[in-house]
Amino acid sequence: MKLGVLFSGGKDSTLALLKAREKEEVVCLISLISQNKESYMFHTPNIHLAELQAKAIGLPLVSFPTSGVKEDELKDLQQAILLAKQRYQIEGIVTGALASCYQASRIQNICNQLKLFCFNPLWQRDQISVLRELLERKFRVVIVGVFAYPFGEEWLGRELTPQVVDELEALQEQYHINPAGEGGEIETMVMDSPLHQRPIVVKKSRTAYLNYAGIYHIEEAVLG
Amino acid sequence: MILVVDLCAKKDSLAAEEFVRPVVELLGESCVVHMTEVTEQLVEQSEGVVLCGVQLQDFDYLDHVDRFAWLKTTTKRVLGICAGAQVIAKVFGGNIVQQQEIGVLEVLWKDGKTEQVYTLHNNAFRCPKGFIVRAKSEQCIHAVQKKTLMCVLFHPEVLNKEMVKRYFY
């Protein structure tokens, strides 16, 4: 079955892509470029690098702009998926949804209207087990956004390691955060994985941080 | 050991990660078989059976209802989830009807309690003869039961996880 993957370049959509490729034929990636940094639906930090990510993985990218206004972004998502259906004859969509019924049901609804199958291979996964699987599968994941207490600026640009996973697990116990960022606490970007033909190399970056919210902006990146 | 039956069109599919794996993770030790592999012997060797749900655009399970004739004689506890519930209803003569619900909604249980549930279906079922209606949404029947056979149209493995374990243990 020909599938398109809703792709942000973050850990969940990239792991979902890997799982989809193990079972089906992935023919394109689909990215929504949101202008709204507080989008309900889409990952935003460094989304401008989706094109470079797609090149690194070797798949065509359907990139679609969205204002990020709450219900308009669903119409934009529908348009992007429709475009991928017309351009690549996809029969289904893959998402990295873990636990958000809000996100998952909206994408399910759009796919159902377009008579497309919708696959969510990480659905209901334990978040720590997802982080550990990423490490086992040799993903290089960097934290590019923090949006909740108690994440300090030192978390920005940190690479996911077994120690970082342990720290996230401890924060889960102490502060009830979602350790994989399912509640929007953290955002990530994958620099390398078994899917990447070439890794992403950051040439220039800066951090912006205030009151437990910050972004690691990748201003310049190339393929290694 | 609980027998977990995968009703997805293909065996060992990407969709099973979404509809079968979460049930297995809730139950712990269990035995997963595809709907094309279920035998009466496997059912009788098990401690109970779960018939899992499928994707919204997957209607293949409706062509395999005859494989589930064992439901008429088994005394094992059986939990049918969404497509699985439809299969049980169909075996006992309850019609499948078009009814779409997607997302979180409220169901009303027979004892007067309401509960938030996660739904994902294009079809619902009519209550088969001999079953008791346990829960309804505004649109349709969501739970029916006959002795050890329990059908739920919503997906308890998403928002009502305890229900899955409680039914067997």
Cβ(B168)–Cβ(B3) under 8 Å? no
pLDDT digits 0-9 by tens, A70-109:
778 899 999 999 999 999 999 999 999 999 999 899 999 9
Q: Are residues A69 and A13 in the same domain?
A: yes
Please tell me the predicted confidence (pLDDT) of residue A194.
Answer: 97
Mean pLDDT across B74-101: 97
Residue in B14, B56, B120 closest to A23 by CB: B14
Q: Are residues A111 and A183 in the same domain?
A: no
A3-46 pLDDT tens trace: 999 999 999 999 999 999 999 999 999 999 887 666 555 556 78
Q: Are residues A12 and A98 in the same domain?
A: yes
**Which among A156, A146, A164, A167 is positioned nearest to A211, based on CA atoms?**
A146
- Residue B126: the pLDDT is 97
Least Cα distance to B47 among B111, B93, B112, B2 occurs for B2
For residues A23 and A95, state if they share a domain: yes
Closest CA to A160 of A177, A176, A183, A180: A180
| Distance of residue B76 Cα from the nearest chain A Cα, in angstroms | 27
Q: Point out the residue among A109, A120, A122 whose CB comes nearest to the CB of B102.
A: A109
| CATH number, domain with residue A97 | 3.40.50.620
Residue finishing a domain among A63, A92, A119: A119
pLDDT digits 0-9 by tens, B6-33: 999 999 999 999 999 999 999 998 999 9
pLDDT for A221 beyond 60: yes
CA distance B57 to chain A (A): 6
- CA nearest A117 in B: which residue? B57
Task: Report pLDDT for A48.
Answer: 83
Q: What is the pLDDT of residue A108?
A: 98
**For residue B166, with 0-12 CB atoms within 10 Å meaning exposed, 13-18 middle and 19 or more buried, which class applies?**
exposed
Q: What integer best gives the mean pLDDT of chain A?
A: 93
Within 8 A by CB and 6+ apart from A205, the residues are A157, A216, A217, A218, A219, A220
Q: Do A124 and B104 touch (CB under 8 A)?
A: no
Query: Looking at the DSSP assignment, which residues form a beta bridge with residue A142?
Result: A159, A189
Cβ contact B3:B74 at 8 Å: no
Helix %, strand %, coil % of chain B (to 5): 30, 35, 35
If you ran DSSP here, which 8-state letter would residue B10 be given?
S
End-to-end CA distance of chain A: 32
Is residue A117 a contact partner of residue A91, using CB atoms and an 8 Å limit? yes
Number of domains in chain A: 2
**Searching chain A, which residue's CA lies closest to the CA of residue B59?**
A117
A147 and A212 inside one domain: yes
Domain co-membership, A169 together with A201: yes
Of A112, A120, A121, the CB nearest to B102: A112
Measured between alpha carbons, how far is B146 from B42 in angstroms, rounded to an integer? 21
Answer yes or no: do A20 and B14 touch at CB < 8 A: yes
Q: Are residues A9 and A111 in the same domain?
A: yes
- What six digits make up the tokens of A80? 């992007």
Residues A70 and A168 in one domain: no
Nearest-angstrom CA–CA distance, A51 and A59: 10
**Mean pLDDT across the stretch A140-156?**
95
Do A85 and A103 share a domain, yes or no? yes
Q: Does residue B78 surpass a pLDDT of 90? A: yes
- Does A156 score more than 60 pLDDT? yes
Q: How many residues does chain B have?
A: 169
Q: Are residues A23 and A96 both part of a single domain? A: yes
pLDDT of amino acid A73: 85
H runs (alpha helix) in chain A: 11-23, 50-57, 72-88, 101-113, 127-136, 162-175
Q: Which residues, including other chains, have CB under 8 Å from residue A52's CB and lie 6 or more apart?
A: A200, A221, A222, A223
Q: Which residues of A touch B158 (CB under 8 A)?
A: 101, 124
Chain B residues touching A116 at Cβ < 8 A: 57
DSSP 8-state symbol, B89: H
Q: What is the pLDDT of residue A45?
A: 72
| H-helix or E-strand spanning residue A177 | none
Q: Which of A119, A141, A165 is the last residue of a domain?
A: A119
Mean pLDDT taken over chain B: 97
Q: What is the ipTM of this complex?
A: 0.95
Q: Are residues A93 and A193 in the same domain?
A: no
Closest residue to A115, CB basis, from B13, B57, B120: B57
Which chain B residues have a beta carbon less than 8 Å from that of A119?
14-15, 17-18, 55
Give the domain extent around A186: 127-223
**Per the CB < 8 Å rule, is A112 touching B56?**
yes
Q: How confident is the model at residue B120 (pLDDT cuts 50, 70, 90)?
A: very high
Q: Region B20-47: what's the mean pLDDT?
A: 96
Model confidence pLDDT, tens digit, residues A100-133: 999 899 999 999 999 999 999 999 999 999 999 9
Report which of A56, A80, A40 is spatially closest to residue A140, judged by C-alpha positions.
Answer: A56
pLDDT tens column, B156-166: 999 999 999 99
All domains of chain B in start order, with CATH: 2-168 (3.40.50.880)
pLDDT of residue B29: 87
- Give me the pLDDT at residue A27, please: 98
Q: In chain A, helix, strand, coil percent, each to 5?
A: 35, 30, 35
Give the H or E element holding residue A119: strand A117-119
Provide the pLDDT confidence category of residue B139 given band limits of 50, 70 and 90. very high
Which of A60, A87, A119 marks a domain boundary? A119
Q: Do B18 and A111 touch (CB under 8 A)?
A: no
Between A and B, how many residue pairs show a Cβ–Cβ distance under 8 A? 64
